[in-house]
Amino acid sequence: MQHYLWPLLRPRSVALVGASERPRSLGRTVYENLLTGGFPGELYAVNARHATVLERTAYRSLAAIGAPVDLAIVATPPHAVVPVLESAVEVGIKVAVIMTAPDGIDTATARAWSGDVSATARRNGIRIVGAGALGVIRPAAHLNATYCAPTALRGRLALIAQSGAVATAMLDFATPLGIGFSCVISLGGGIDVGFGELLDLLLLDQETDGILLYVEEVGDTRAFMSALRAAARTKPVVVLKAGRSQEPSATVAPDTVFDAALMRAGTVRVSTYTQLFAAARILAGGRIPQGDRVAIVSNGRGPAVLAADRASDHRIELASLTQKSAEQLDRLFGTGERSTNPMDVRNAAPEQHAAAVSIAIDDPNVDVVIALHVPRPNTAAIEAAEALAQVARGRAKPVLAAWLGAIDRAGVHAALEAGGVSNFYTPENAVDALSFLAAYRNNQAWLLEVPPPQPEPEPFDVASLDPLRVRLAEEGRDRLALSEASTVLATFGIGGFAVVDSLERAEAAMRGLRTPLMLEPDVVERSGLQRVVRSRRSLAKAWSELRDDAASALPPGWNGRIVIREVPRDATVGEFAVVVATDRRFGPVIVLGPAHRRDGFIRQPAVMLPPLNARLAADLVAQAIRPSIVSELPTSTLDALVDTLTRVSALACALPWVHSLRLDAIAYADGRPYLVGVTAEVDPQRRLMRGYPHMAIHPYPVELIGDVTLSDGTTLHLRPIRPEDAELERAFVDGLSEQTRYYRFFYRLTELTPSMLARFTQVDYDRELALVALTTGEGGTHGFVGVARYIANPDQTSAEFAVVVADAWQRRGIARILMRGLIVCAKRRGFEQLTGTILRVNEPMLAFVRSLGFETSEDPEDSAQVCATLSLATQ
């Protein structure tokens, strides 16, 4: 199934609306670029005033064309855009690039214009790229529908930029260096099509191996994150984000949140335009190192040291050369001084410099080599480049170069490129480029890592908190009292508090708590009034003294309640602050930082987007706490901190009305958390909506967990699949018969590869769902006996389904239970259809889907397969 934006990349016909005879006009420039690009399809010039454009017939309107048109390029004045879109439906146009936009984009007039354009496009089923877009370049289709002079060379990199100026500048840099692109697309104002949809398009594009993004505003955050995570699993994505200087102040800096979002997506961020260009060059090379160990070979000590320093900044390891390599270098140079890393070959001849690089490439301890060259009387830059190219050509390991002083030396560039070596001109740029490769490789390894098994997430009683939210809304309050915060935290298993209004109830509560205890008034603003109770005998005195102090110090209206909380008996091993803040784009974020009393445990506050499982929470701890401290902390303390973070994450997912939460501090002793203080700000008008729209990443749908009973009385446990299910999924597929595996995967699958295992268990719940049925018994659930899943199709209105049941459990109604649940979830998600492909020989499956209401038809692409479709409107 083709993506609905496919006309951007492979149009069979293009109509330029606003083509002009006027020199240097927008319409004429675009038309000339379309002609000189050699677009092989039908090209229509549309101009209501002129009968010809560049001596070619011009149509008075789109309707006059009288033939289907795939792509419209709209270069008319802004006031004519809406009429153009109204007429576009007459020739079947589904995608339009709008190049114009009114001046003063922040004015009310401009916003009204954008609204009219969007409404017209939606009404006519047209998707818009723009407004104010540079256009689109697709070298493979000989399509240059832009108003910029340079076109792009054909290559394997895609560039999506909100700024046409950035896209044009990238082309200016790339073309002389031989860097090609699969496509270049400018979003402009982004009033309709956004980054998420274009990333989905490029994920399906076989011409694209890597993606570069220039981002100012992400637009639809959920769509952006979902598509970015999907794309980064198979193609490297590098992002340059601009605009941090214009961000408003916030609890967590928006730029820090953006970094956290990219980390969750497995993508690489660059900070400067130069680094984006370096990333383009390194990705264009197509060689990804297998590790991060670098050898630096230079004919000057200074550049080598600068490169080593930069590598240290990026935490890139300098390789330790083997004894064999050291001996080869000794024979080459006659001294042992040059067998260290970084390697200074000094005044070596070009052939010797290249030979040293060759030795480093062959060293098994080296993953990548950076070759540096500075001008010297006996080492001409061009000869050194030619010698390096000879030894680097055809090698599996990447070789990066920095020929200092050769920025305008075309001969040096050509010589290096002939050997597959990119010249980054400075040591720092070369190491920065390597850091992108290393980060991408590490992200891929992280994505494919199988998390260890973990207990099933708890479905917390969130409904019990709704009366509190309603009361807060009625009273117009935006802060929680301690007792209310205690109730919220206790719902998610974060305890240690009791709130009482009499001494008798305090004595009763004390029986369930460990001394010593802290008593303080239940108020919104912490008063500083406290009493410590170390034994049951001292409770009455502390209670009386605290009530007297509160009566005189607190304002009238105090509710008279006292908060009792546990404090550690023994010395704590650290105090931390766990914060939930709400970012205006990405929703809730979780911060692990130092408590109000800094104790040196935290090296820097660490930020992560929820939802968090145990593995992600452990990563957050590793980011925040100094490594030397982590190694000394008891395992029980680390486990308790991870547990706290996952529970706070569950709270952030389930309670969008808790706008901010600060647990400051949480102390740990004997593997137990002790909550010292808590403050919470709320927006009680924000209720939890289906699909968790307040989250940038769809959390694990705990609401789908439950049990079912088969007709024979057997109880099965149903729930969505989790990343921690990797071993259960592997065992399930391994246990299927050869025929069942063939019916499910359409080929003779022997075992799941690591990438397949990650793909099947690390589900993006925003666009896909896998429901699993597990056997139950003593000790909890056991293995999988059935799996049903859907994944969104490129049209985003339908989803493809699959279902398989273990051989020993077939014909017991499990597939029907799973599919009925899947159908309900797909309809709630907003899909209009479920579709699937079934092998013709799989007659039981064909009969089964027909019994569910699916309609079957011939597969036009494969006679051995049958298509099944279920309309969800009638379900």
State pLDDT tens for residues 25-75.
Answer: 899 999 999 998 899 999 999 987 777 777 777 888 999 999 999 999 999
The H-or-E segment that residue 611 falls in is: none
State pLDDT tens for residues 277-300.
Answer: 788 878 777 777 888 899 999 999
Q: Check whether the bond before 652 is cis (ω within 30° of 0).
A: no
Report the pLDDT value the prediction gives residue 874, as an integer from 0 to 100.
Answer: 84
The residue count of the chain comes to 875
Query: Per-residue pLDDT averaged across 633-654, rounded?
Result: 91
| Cβ–Cβ < 8 Å for 70, 43 | no
Q: Tokens for 355, please give them.
A: 């030979």
Q: Tokens for 383, please give them.
A: 């000869």
Tell whether the model's pLDDT for residue 200 goes beyond 70. yes
Tell whether the model's pLDDT for residue 598 goes beyond 60. no
Q: How many other C-beta atoms lie within 10 A of the C-beta of residue 240?
A: 20
Lowest pLDDT segment from 510-514, 678-682, 695-699, 770-774: 510-514
Across-strand partners of 625? 602
| Residue 618, CA distances (Å) to 121, 456, 606, 612, 649 in order | 47, 17, 12, 9, 13
Burial of residue 364 (number of CB atoms within 10 Å: 0-12, 13-18, 19+): exposed
The per-residue pLDDT of the chain, averaged, comes to 89
Closest CA to 433 of 304, 268, 300: 268
The DSSP bridge pattern shows strands 587-594 and 531-533 to be unpaired
pLDDT above 70 coverage of the chain, percent: 96
Report the pLDDT value the prediction gives residue 784, as an integer from 0 to 100.
Answer: 96
Residue owning tokens 């969800």: 872
State pLDDT tens for residues 408-433.
Answer: 677 888 899 889 898 888 999 899 98
Report the pLDDT value the prediction gives residue 106, as an integer from 0 to 100.
Answer: 63
Q: Tokens for 562, please give them.
A: 């006292």
* DSSP of 788-832: EEEEE-TTSSEEEEEEEE-GGGTTSSHHHHHHHHHHHHHHHHT-S
pLDDT above 90 coverage of the chain, percent: 59
- What's CA 778's distance to the chain center, in Å? 39
Angstrom distance (rounded) from CA 707 to CA 46: 62
Query: Per-residue pLDDT averaged across 739-759, rounded?
Result: 92
Angstrom distance (rounded) from CA 864 to CA 844: 15
Query: Where is mean pLDDT largest: 162-171, 643-652, 657-666, 746-755?
Result: 643-652
State pLDDT tens for residues 455-476.
Answer: 788 789 999 999 999 999 999 9
- Residue 270: what residue type? V
Report the pLDDT value the prediction gives residue 373, as an integer from 0 to 100.
Answer: 94
Angstrom distance (rounded) from CA 117 to CA 131: 9
Report the pLDDT value the prediction gives residue 693, as an integer from 0 to 100.
Answer: 95
The DSSP bridge pattern shows strands 865-871 and 855-858 to be antiparallel
Tell whether the model's pLDDT for residue 78 goes beyond 60. yes
Q: Going edge to edge, which strands form the sheet with 517-521?
A: 497-500, 562-566, 517-521, 531-533
3-state secondary structure of 564: strand
Burial of residue 557 (number of CB atoms within 10 Å: 0-12, 13-18, 19+): exposed
Question: In sequence order, what are the residues at sequence separation of 6 or more whose Cβ sits closer than 8 angstroms to the Cβ of residue 844?
Answer: none
Interior angle at CA 539, CA 538 and CA 542, nearest 5: 85
3-state secondary structure of 97: strand
Question: In sequence order, what are the residues at sequence separation of 6 or more whose Cβ sits closer than 8 angstroms to the Cβ of residue 869?
Answer: 833, 834, 835, 836, 854, 855, 856, 857
State pLDDT tens for residues 324-345.
Answer: 999 999 888 876 556 789 999 9
The DSSP bridge pattern shows strands 42-46 and 56-59 to be parallel
Between 595 and 733, name the one with better pLDDT.
733
Tell whether the model's pLDDT for residue 664 goes beyond 90. no
Report the pLDDT value the prediction gives residue 855, as an integer from 0 to 100.
Answer: 96
State pLDDT tens for residues 760-792.
Answer: 999 999 999 999 999 987 666 689 999 999 999
Report the pLDDT value the prediction gives residue 571, as an integer from 0 to 100.
Answer: 60
Angstrom distance (rounded) from CA 814 to CA 809: 8
Longest dimension (CA), the chain: 103
Tell whether the model's pLDDT for residue 599 goes beyond 60. no
Interior angle at CA 218, CA 216 and CA 221, nearest 5: 160
Angstrom distance (rounded) from CA 532 to CA 330: 72
Between 650 and 453, name the one with better pLDDT.
650
Report the pLDDT value the prediction gives residue 407, as an integer from 0 to 100.
Answer: 64
Phi, psi of 463, deg, nearest 5: -60, -30
Tell whether the model's pLDDT for residue 133 goes beyond 70. yes
| Cβ–Cβ < 8 Å for 110, 102 | yes
Q: Tokens for 510, please give them.
A: 């004390």
Tell whether the model's pLDDT for residue 493 goes beyond 80. yes
Q: Give the torsion sign (CA, 683, 684, 685, 686).
A: positive
Q: Going edge to edge, which strands form the sheet with 706-709?
A: 706-709, 715-720, 768-777, 780-792, 798-805, 833-839, 865-871, 855-858
Interior angle at CA 689, CA 683 and CA 692, nearest 5: 95
Report the pLDDT value the prediction gives residue 497, as an integer from 0 to 100.
Answer: 77
State pLDDT tens for residues 843-875.
Answer: 999 999 999 999 999 999 999 999 999 999 988
Query: Tell me, what DSSP letter sits at residue 125?
Result: T
Q: How many other C-beta atoms lie within 10 A of the C-beta of residue 52?
A: 12
Phi-psi region of 845 (alpha: psi -120 to 50; beta: other; left: phi over 0): alpha
Question: In sequence order, what are the residues at sequence separation of 6 or more whose Cβ sits closer than 8 angstroms to the Cβ of residue 583?
Answer: 250, 252, 254, 257, 589
Query: Where is mean pLDDT largest: 105-119, 148-162, 546-560, 691-705?
Result: 691-705
